[in-house]
Amino acid sequence: MKERQSKNFLPVVNARKPLAIISIILVLTVLAGLYLSIAWYRYKRMGELQAIQLAQSVGSLLHVEHIAQLYQQADSPESLLVEQSLVQLVEVTDPIYYAYILQRNNGSISITVDSSDADSDTSLPANRSCSETIEINSKPFDTGESVVTGPLPTPCGNWIRVLVPIFDSNEKVVAVLGLSYSASEWHTNLLKKMIPDVLMVILLIALVITLFNLLRENLKYKQAEQSRQESERSKSVFFSHIPGMAYRCKDDQKWTMEFVSEGCFDLTGYRVEDFFSDDLDNRVTFKDIISPEYSETLRNEWNRVLPQRKWFRAEYEIVTKTGERKWVLELGQGIYDDDGNVEALEGVILDYTDRKKKERQIEYLREHDFLTGLYNRNYMEQEKRRLDQPEYLPLSVAICDIDGLRVINDAYGTQEGDYLILKTAQLLRNCLEGEYVIGHTGSGEFLILLPNTDSQAADLLTAKIKSSIESYNRCNTDSLYDISVSIGHSTKEVETQELQNVTAEADENMRRRKMLNQNSSHSAIVSSIMATLYAKSQETEEHGQRLGRLSTMIGRAMGLSQTELDDLQLLSKLHDIGKVIVDNQILNKPEKLSREEWKIMRQHSEIGYRIAVSMPQLKHIAEYILYHHERWDGTGYPEGLKGERIPIASRILSVADAFDAMTNDRVYRRAIPIEDAIKEIKHNAGTQFDPNIAELFVRLVAENPEMLFNDNPEDNES
């Protein structure tokens, strides 16, 4: 009776086994489908965000003022510069097939410049006949939001487009940057990103089914053994199709292999038998393949996940048998015994090199400037935030700008200007050492961040850059490519200073230097004003150069900063700028001026002040011009300031100007000997002149008599 019941019971159990397997498979399929759907959406969103970030990075490099003029001046230098940037983008970025600028005029949206001249395997010719969906193109203009479209069919093919608005300084959308991606390549890349997730799901399903089979077949030893052998055969077949290497290894220091799939040869260059050689000295362990700098990190990660029975996931580099370095992605897990001890490690290792290469390419484009290869404006802003910490103080900021670049672009074309930018970038980079960070922030301007660098060290770097450029110009046979730059710097000394203000001060110092540079358009303003003065009076350019030399000599001896020395140079040129308003007859009168004429003449310092204060480039020296005829004893004009209330720059100029006036011919008298002029300076110390400055000047002249006869204006440069 019992035997019959047992025989009847077995078919019932056997009948239920397929149902259980089907149920488990259905549940796992639903869960796997849900997981893969979520993963697909995540990778799709990541791809869209990366495309938008790349487009925004490119858009930030395009000059808004250039783009705003594209609609009216299609063949302007600005249009060619923007077009060249788009062409370079398509040529160096594999996924992008076409780049273009959309602009709206009277409600109509059209392409004003594109990358149709791109010479790349991944570029397509411009196809302006491909119809653009008006609604999609209008959205960035109307909302100011970036748009990533779905696949849009056109006569040119199916494309996914990324549309990013470009704003002017008033946050108004002036144009839209469009990037076209092949829809098929876009989805192929998404599918490639899904490979690790698909493999992980397949492995998990295979593991669950295998465990279920092992439990089910555990009723009979023979059936269990047969099931195990079948599982091994299935595993071998499955792993043979994996684009990488499957493994089982010990949890020891060398990760000694117990099983490796045939894919190990394609991945590592080692064959299966190399991992199981009887010669222990020649046996390969997995630690031998891992690039040494990653070994400790991987061991720490395994130690973290094994106690928690979590999946292991890591990206790292291996070194193949031939010495080639490859990036790999490893997905693994621990295998535990009944007591919870780790028996082994199992997983797969996939070749990740191509994906890493593309990730690095995109990362490079986000951070670097197309033309120079230096960091771009966005990256430099990030670096400013990173370095704005107490451990990097003092933090110096230097701004370097190429003089006369716009003239080169207008006269010879943007290609010549780009060459000048590229050579300047190379010279600047060669001058930098240590942790200095340099970026090309637009047109001919460069930003240099100097952590743990005080003002004196920044001065030395500035001098090094100047010397390097001068050496280059001396060796350069084509004067068209002579380089002239203006550099300004400032230093954050204490934590309470705002780095934004330090950067603004560096920019202002750079613009002051431009006023002294003959190749700068800023200097043209000074030259134009002074040319008028030279034509009206007996004032000469040589007088300004002599004053600059003498004033700088005094200022250096007093320990003035480079910015203060630059102000002295500019003041030496422009202190008498107010005389352009004074009548010629008064300026050139050989006899003594009448009281009324002298009253008019005394107004030139106030007139000069009003001229300077009205010009942003000269505003910072306006007060020095106003007070350069004040006297130490308070009897000067226009306000009768006394002693140290007079700005130090005005006091220095007062001594230098008096000496130069006495030792050079004037319309109203002849020059006197240098010895007599020195006596006059001594005699008027404490009344007309600051006594300390007068004493210092007399000593410097005695020690450096050659300074009185050097008329080389280049010697005035710091």
Please give the structure tokens belonging to residue 714: 């280049």
Distance between CA atoms of residues 399 and 446, nearest Å: 6
DSSP string, 253-315: TT--EEEE-TTHHHHHS--GGGGG-S-TTT---HHHHB-HHHHHHHHHHHHHHTTTTPPEEEE
Residue whose C-alpha is closest to residue 398's, from 322, 308, 320, 503: 503
DSSP string, 541-601: HHHHHHHHHHHHHHHHHTT--HHHHHHHHHHHHHTTGGGGGS-HHHHT--SPPPHHHHHHH
- Output DSSP code: residue 478: -
Q: Band of the pLDDT at 12, cuts 50, 70, 90?
A: very low
Residue whose C-alpha is closest to residue 454's, from 480, 485, 416, 492: 492
Q: What are the backbone dihedrals phi and psi of residue 529, each rounded to the nearest 5 degrees, phi first?
A: -65, -45
Q: How many residues does the chain have?
A: 718
What number is the average pLDDT over the span 303-319? Answer: 93
- Asked, colleague to colleague, whether 374-513 and 521-716 share their fold, the answer is no
The pLDDT of residue 624 is 94
Residue whose C-alpha is closest to residue 572's, from 600, 552, 602, 593: 552
Please report the sign of the dihedral spanned by the C-alpha atoms of residue 538, residue 540, residue 542, residue 543: positive
pLDDT at 24 over 70: yes
The pLDDT of residue 717 is 45
Do the beta carbons of residue 338 and residue 324 sit within 8 Å?
Answer: no
* Higher-pLDDT residue of 507, 406: 507
pLDDT in tens, 198-229: 888 888 877 777 777 777 666 555 654 555 55
Please give the structure tokens belonging to residue 193: 């990103």
**Range of weakest confidence among 81-90, 113-122, 245-254, 262-271:** 113-122
| Cβ within 8 Å of residue 221, ≥6 positions away | none
Q: Coil, helix or strand for 161?
A: strand
> At which residue do the structure tokens 């008064």 appear?
586
| pTM of the predicted model as reported, rounded to 2 decimal places | 0.49
Q: Coil, helix or strand for 357?
A: helix
pLDDT at 169 over 90: no
As a whole number, the mean pLDDT across the chain is: 82
Please give the structure tokens belonging to residue 640: 């009768």
**Range of weakest confidence among 130-144, 282-296, 338-352, 569-583:** 130-144
The pLDDT of residue 90 is 82
Instruction: List Cβ<8 Å contacts ≥24 apart for 630-639.
Output: 630/654, 631/687, 631/688, 631/689, 632/686, 632/687, 632/688, 632/689, 632/690, 632/691, 633/686, 633/687, 633/688, 635/687, 636/688, 637/602, 637/605, 638/602, 638/603, 638/605, 638/606
Instruction: Give the DSSP H/E element, type plus range, for residue 441.
Output: strand 437-442
- Output DSSP code: residue 391: G
Do the beta carbons of residue 513 and residue 566 sit within 8 Å?
Answer: yes
Q: Coil, helix or strand for 354?
A: helix
* Higher-pLDDT residue of 647, 27: 647
Residue whose C-alpha is closest to residue 124's, from 91, 165, 152: 91
- Which residues is 158 bridged to in the sheet? 153
pLDDT in tens, 457-503: 999 999 999 999 999 988 887 666 788 899 999 999 999 999 999 99
173-175-176 Cα angle (round to 5): 105
pLDDT in tens, 130-167: 445 677 888 888 888 999 988 888 777 788 989 989 88
What number is the average pLDDT over the span 173-185? Answer: 87
Return the percentage of the chain with pLDDT > 70, whole number.
82
The pLDDT of residue 492 is 95
Q: How far is CA 549 from CA 539, 573, 647, 654, 716, in A?
A: 17, 11, 19, 14, 5
- Output DSSP code: residue 74: T
Please report the sign of the dihedral spanned by the C-alpha atoms of residue 267, residue 270, residue 275, residue 280: negative
Distance between CA atoms of residues 91 and 83, nearest Å: 12
Q: Where are the domains of the chain?
A: 374-513, 521-716
**Range of weakest confidence among 110-114, 349-353, 609-613, 616-620:** 616-620
Find out whether the peptide bond into 638 is cis, omega within 30 degrees of 0: yes
Residue whose C-alpha is closest to residue 379's, from 336, 316, 321, 440: 440
pLDDT at 5 over 80: no
pLDDT in tens, 527-567: 666 666 666 555 667 888 889 999 999 999 999 988 888 88
What number is the average pLDDT over the span 331-337? Answer: 92
**Range of weakest confidence among 15-19, 251-255, 654-658:** 15-19
What number is the average pLDDT over the span 88-110? Answer: 83
What number is the average pLDDT over the span 301-323? Answer: 93
| Cβ within 8 Å of residue 253, ≥6 positions away | 287, 299
Residue whose C-alpha is closest to residue 104's, from 48, 76, 52, 142: 142
> At which residue do the structure tokens 């720490």 appear?
300
pLDDT at 32 over 70: yes
Instruction: List Cβ<8 Å contacts ≥24 apart for 566-569.
Output: 566/509, 566/512, 566/513, 566/516, 566/718, 567/512, 567/620, 567/621, 567/624, 567/649, 568/649, 568/652, 568/653, 569/516, 569/716
- Domain 374-513: give its CATH architecture: 2-Layer Sandwich (3.30)
pLDDT in tens, 264-304: 898 999 998 999 888 888 888 888 899 999 999 999 999 99
pLDDT in tens, 406-421: 877 776 678 888 889 9
DSSP H helices in 339-413: 353-367, 377-387, 405-412
The pLDDT of residue 524 is 53
The pLDDT of residue 2 is 40
**Range of weakest confidence among 319-333, 385-399, 467-481, 483-497:** 467-481
Do the beta carbons of residue 489 and residue 396 sit within 8 Å?
Answer: yes
Do the beta carbons of residue 111 and residue 128 sit within 8 Å?
Answer: yes
Q: How far is CA 115 from CA 253, 417, 577, in A?
A: 54, 20, 50
The pLDDT of residue 34 is 87
Q: Coil, helix or strand for 374?
A: coil
Distance between CA atoms of residues 257 and 266, nearest Å: 17
pLDDT at 585 over 50: yes
| Cβ within 8 Å of residue 247, ≥6 positions away | 257, 259, 260, 261, 264, 286, 345, 346, 347, 348, 349
pLDDT at 231 over 60: no
Q: Coil, helix or strand for 198?
A: helix
The pLDDT of residue 522 is 47
Q: Band of the pLDDT at 8, cuts 50, 70, 90?
A: very low
Q: Band of the pLDDT at 433, cuts 50, 70, 90?
A: confident
pLDDT in tens, 601-625: 899 899 889 888 877 778 888 999 9
Distance between CA atoms of residues 630 and 651, nearest Å: 8
pLDDT at 14 over 70: no
The pLDDT of residue 11 is 46
- Domain 521-716: give its CATH architecture: Orthogonal Bundle (1.10)
